[in-house]
Structure formats: C-alpha cells, structure tokens
Chain A
Amino acid sequence: MQSKKILVYILLVLGALTMLLPFFWMVSTAFKTGFEALQTPPTWLPKHFQWGNWVRAWQAAPFATYLINSVVVSLATTLGQLVTSILAAFAFAKLNFSGKKVLFTILLATMMVPGEMLIIPNFVTLSELHLVNTYGALIVPWLASFFAVFTLRQSFASVPDQLYYAARLDGASDWQFLWRILVPNAKSTITAIGLLQIIGSWNSFMWPLIVTNTEKMRTLPVGLQAFSSDSGVQYPELMAASTFVILPMVVMYLLLNKYVVAGISNTGIKG
C-alpha cells in the first residue's frame, strides 16, 4: 500500500516537471547570453546571469505601450461585461416579461456558433463605424457575453423568490434588491467570471491582430508576435519578452487561484 502511494507521487512529480519545464526553460534562457543559449549540450542554468537582457528586450519594442493597451482592454472589457451581465442576469432570474423563454433560447443557441465565424462581419461593422485600430474595436464587441449572463443567472436564481417578494413588500426597489442582496450573494461567481474574462482578454490574439494595424494600438500578444519576427532577435531577448506577457497572469493566478479554480469547477465551460 505504501509503495503504491510512493509510485503515485513519483508519477505526479514527473508530470508536474513536464508542465513546468517550458516555464523554467523560458526564464533560464532569458538570463543567458545569445552565445550560451545556442551551446550544445545546453546548460540548465546560465553561467552568468545577464540581467541586461530584460532591459534590452523591454526597449527593443514598445512593450510599455503594449502593456498599457493590454491592461486598459482587459479591465474595460471585464468591468463592462460584469455590469451588462449582472443587469441582464437579474432580468432573466427574477423579472417577469413577455418572450423571456424565447429570448433566452435564442441567446443560448448563439453560444454554439464559433466566434471565428463572426470576425468578418464584425470587422466590416467596425470599419463602417471608423473604429478599426482604436480602443473601441478592441473593447466594444466584448462588453457583453451571454456566457457570463447564463452563469450569473444560475447564481441569482439560487436566491429564493420569497426573499425577492419580501424585499419588495418592505419597500425595496428592484435596483436595491439586485445590488444589496443578489450581487453580494453571488460574489464568488462574479469574481470567477471577472478573472476568467481578464485572463481571456489578456491572452486573446486573433481579434486584436485583425483590428490593429499600428504599433501604438497593439496588445502584448500581438506585440510579442511582431517582435518575434523582427530580424536579429535572439532567443534570450525573445524569452524575456515572452515572460513579460506571461508573468502578470501567472502572478494573478497564483494569488487568486482558489477563485479561478472554483469558477471553472462551477461553470465547466471556458470563458
């Protein structure tokens, strides 16, 4: 029995090492000289830590601009999505209106359609609104998501209707009931939706690639991709730049990992 446990741990450690190896290799390479990185056999740890690589990578492309864009876009889309979803989820969970079931079913069905199919007409729409290559194009289409509405509705619906009617009798308005009772009650679901959206927005690539065409509007992943195709970029700098993109989400995840895990465990679908 004991030896079986040890085998389980050995397998899990081997698996964990496989998952971590690319991260380790990224950081290790980022500290090497270009010459050392290309040596065979490779060295596991740099002989002399090249701190200058990080500064050079940061300055080799406008990473500060990319970082600001990524932060603005992730926060704006997440906040917007939370507000629109909270309002809509309340209507679906507690309000009585005509066509509720039909509307809900139609919106649910739209989740089946691959987002890649929508890129072309959305690009045309944004061109007509003269929003291509602006924050508008990066943010506005993502200000609402039916997935978030759907998840939040479940959470709101779990608060008994009796509580709603009691609050109404006591003179509370819908607005007060929503923000004072329902929202605080669904705090963990809201946090999870928010975190998943930040991660999704931070890492998204195809859409920002298509709707931006100047350096100053690029987000980090698009900027990194462009940097990687610059001539003369060496692997240590490319690995340092990749770390810039990865690190903020890893730090946020490690700090708030229980919310992220709970969110995925509860919803079971990618954000």
Chain B
Amino acid sequence: MMNNTKPTWRDNLKALGYLLPMLIIVGMFSLYPIIKSLAMSFYTDYNFFTNQVNAIGFDNFKTLWQDANFHLAVWNTIVFVVGVVPVEIILSLAIASLLNQINRLAGLFRTLYFMPFVTSVVAISMVWRWIYNKDAGLLNYLLGFVGVHPIDWLNDPHYAMPALIILAIWKGLGFNILLFLVALNNVDQRLYDAAMLDGANSWQRFWHVTLPMISPMTFLVTVNAVIGSFKVFDEIFALFGGQPGPGHSTLTVVYYLYQMFYEQNKYGLAAASGVVLFLMILVVTLFQLWWSKKHVHY
C-alpha cells in the first residue's frame, strides 16, 4: 500500500499545496490566538495602541480571584448551565420518543420543532423581550389564566435568569430532538420484541432497553449542551438591551469577558477570564468523559 511508504519531499510538497489555504487561516485565527490569549492573560501592563507589553505576572488572575463581579459571573454561568441542560435533555428526549412512535406527520413536527435553531438568536430574543413584557406581554397574559400575578420578567433580578433559561431551552430543543431521533431509530427492534416477550411494560422497556442503547448519544448531546451553555452571550445582550440583566443578575463569564475587553479595554483581564472559561469547560468535559466510561454502554 502506498500509505505505508515513507513520503518523499515531492509528496510532502503536494500535500502542503492542498493544506496551505486552510493552514494559513486556521493558523492565523485559531492556533496563534490560542497561544496569544494564554500569553495575554499574563500581561498586566499592556498598551494596545502601541502593542507594547510593559509588565507580566499573575495579577490578572489575582484580580479575577478577588473581583466580586467575576465571582457573580461564574456563579450565574453555573446556574444557567444547571438550569438549562437537564431540562433540555429530558424534554428533548421525551419529545423525540413521542415523535418516534408516530408515522403520520412526523416529518412536519420535526420541521416545526427545529425551526428555532435556524433563527437568529438576536432577532428571536427581541420577540421574547416583547413576550416577557410586564404589562402587555403574552406570557403574563397566559399565566393570568392560572392565577399568576404579572411578573416583571426582565426588570426583576429574581426573574431575569429564569427568563433567560426559558428562552435558551426553547431555542435549543430542536437540535437535541434531532440527535435523539437518530439514536432512537438505530435501536434494534428485536431488543424491544425480546423485552416484550419477557413481559416488560413500556416504561420498563424505555428504562432498560432504550436508555442504555441510546446512552452514547445522550452523552454527546449532554457534552454539546454543557459546552454551548457555558458560552451564553448573544441571548443576554439582546434580551436585556446590551446590559447583563437587572443588577447584573445575568452577568455570565463570556459577558464579563466582553465587558472587560470591549467596554473597559482591559485586554489582559479579559484574556484571563477567557482562560478561566476554557479551564471550566475542560474540567467539566473531562469529568463527563470519566463518568461516561462507567455509565455509557458502547
């Protein structure tokens, strides 16, 4: 086989020709900035206009460690992830299971459920801003039927985070439903037949056949959802009109990064918060990987 021979300089040159356009862009805008932002997180005295680094050290991380706003951002991000991911997974699996049981109109339903995924976060957040309106909003009107008093969703610090979480779940469902549908379709029908013969009811079949069989997909969906939720920004910016919620109640790590970078021009501090975000995602993903080794059936 040709692939086992040692490549000649001619082979290398040819491959380089094919790779070069991608390598230039990825090198400049993905590889270099990873190293650069790690370095920048240690810049404690940096002049952007002259691109001069006057001092380096751990001060940015010390500042983050002591900044109450950053603590709040980390806390809010965790609350958001915990608020969104489990509900989103359970709901999307439930809907996918329902969709999997029908033949007629299944395609239409799938198309409708998926629609929020293709819509602009900013534009649909404008719509939700209007739905969440305290006096004339649709949600308070509907909640009125079950006796709930009007809630000031976007201006009451207690309700801003729930409002954000509801929007995020609504937006993310369709994508996860689609992935669960793929997994459900791949479960061997004979396993269900065997379980039926053994007298398993539908709940037992779901718990002991479906769930173990789709666990690799559940794992993938969860990792995706967790990573995506850690990076929430657009929704917040659009929902609260360029503010991180009333009383910073929806200030997240990426929003903090944006504030430090864009509003306050503290590049080193912003880079450091990005590094912390990366480490948080890395730790949680590694933990999920470790956990999945014990619980995911391949």
Q: Which residues of A contact B (CB under 8 A)?
A: 5, 8-9, 11-12, 15-16, 18-23, 25-26, 29, 37-42, 83-85, 87-88, 90-91, 95-98, 100, 103, 106-107, 110, 112-125, 127-128, 140-141, 143-146, 149, 161, 165, 174, 199, 202-203, 205-206, 209-210, 220-222, 224-225, 228-229, 235, 238-239, 241-243, 245-246, 249-250, 252-254, 257, 260-261, 264-265, 268-270
Contacts and interface: CB of A to CB of B under 8 A. Distances in A.
Nearest to A126: B29
Contacts of A268: 179, 182, 217, 220, 224
Interface stretch (B68-76, B121-129, B156-164, B192-200): B121-129
Contact of B136 (A40, A144, A242): A40
Contacts of B281: 112, 114
Contacts of B99: 12
B148 interface: no
Contacts of A246: 119-120, 123-124
A88 B21 contact: yes
Contacts of A103: 19
Contacts of A245: 120, 122-123
A235 B254 CA distance: 29
B231 A114 contact: yes
Instruction: Pick the 10 closest A-B CB pairs, nearest first.
Output: A97-B15, A117-B274, A144-B25, A121-B33, A121-B36, A88-B22, A245-B123, A91-B18, A221-B122, A118-B33
A85 B28 contact: no
B296 interface: no
State the majority secondary structure of interface residues on B.
Answer: helix
Contacts of B203: none
Given A120-B271, A268-B182, 4 more contacts: A106-B31, A114-B231, A122-B33, A241-B126
Nearest to A37: B136
B189 interface: no
B18 to A, nearest CB: 4
Contacts of A254: 111
Contact of A220 (B2, B120, B138): B120
A149 B271 CA distance: 28
Given A114-B278, A161-B3, A19 B102 contact: no
A236 B114 CA distance: 26
Interface string B125-159: 01111110101101001000000000000000000
A41 B96 CA distance: 35
B77 to A, nearest CB: 12
A241 B120 CA distance: 12
Contacts of A235: 130, 133
A144 B178 contact: no
A224 B174 contact: no
A128 B242 contact: no
B191 interface: no
Interface of B: 1-3, 5, 7, 11-12, 14-16, 18-19, 21-26, 28-34, 36-37, 40, 48, 51, 95, 98-99, 101-102, 105, 109-116, 118-124, 126-131, 133, 135-136, 138, 141, 170, 173-175, 178-179, 181-182, 217, 220, 224, 227-228, 230-231, 233-234, 237-238, 241-242, 254, 257-258, 261-262, 267, 270-271, 274-275, 277-278, 281-282, 285
Nearest to B16: A97
**B21, B131, B224 pick with most chain A CB within 10 angstroms:** B21
Contact of A97 (B12, B122, B178, B278): B12
Contacts of A221: 120-123, 234
14 contacts: A19-B112, A25-B130, A88-B18, A95-B18, A117-B274, A120-B267, A121-B271, A124-B48, A203-B121, A242-B126, A246-B120, A249-B119, A250-B115, A261-B178
A270 B285 CA distance: 16
A232 B217 CA distance: 48
A40 B15 CA distance: 67
Given A97-B11, A250-B115, A224 B126 contact: yes
A118 B37 contact: yes
B110 A261 contact: yes
Given A146-B30, A249-B120, A98 B179 contact: no
Given A242-B126, A246-B123, A120 B102 contact: no
B277 A116 contact: yes
Given A19-B173, A242-B123, A113 B14 contact: no
Listed residue (A8, A241, A252) with the most chain B CB atoms within 10 angstroms of its CB? A8
A210 B25 contact: no
A19 B170 contact: yes
B219 to A, nearest CB: 11
A191 B55 CA distance: 49
A144 B22 CA distance: 5
A241 B16 CA distance: 46
A237 to B, nearest CB: 11
